[in-house]
Amino acid sequence: MYFNSPYDQYSNLHHPYCKICCNSGEISQFNELNERSQHYKSEITKKTRSYVTLACTSCRDKKEKCSGEAICANCKRHNRECVYIKPTKKRGPKPKDKKPIITPALANLLNPVV
């Protein structure tokens, strides 16, 4: 039987320390697995992810992690052309217009016809 996590084999139990569901061997087994998983979790959380602000077109098309270098690692490995295209749309809030908006009615008030 294959388990994705140490807790999967105990998923049908009421809770890990239930005297009805568990005998003492299962409880000690659970404690050991719990200690191991806590150790692995602490090792995993120490790793930091690196992010690239812009991926090359081939990595983006293939949905691969791009290293962001002039010629990225994936393109070097697969002998592909490595091209970076700057995005046309800018993200974030739009800049506010500094010009006042003049409607035709307001223009008539400012420049009266004599």
pLDDT along the chain (114 residues), means of 10: 51 50 53 62 65 91 93 95 88 76 77 70
Q: Token digits for 112?
A: 């009266």
41 lies in the same domain as 60: no
Domain span at residue 15?
Answer: 8-46
- pLDDT for res 37: 65
Rama region for 63: left / alpha / beta (φ>0; ψ in -120 to 50; rest)? left
CA angle 39, 50, 34 (to 5 degrees): 15
Q: How far apart are CA 44 and CA 114, in angstroms?
A: 80
- pLDDT for res 26: 52
Domain count, the chain: 2
User: Is 98 inside a domain boundary?
Assistant: no
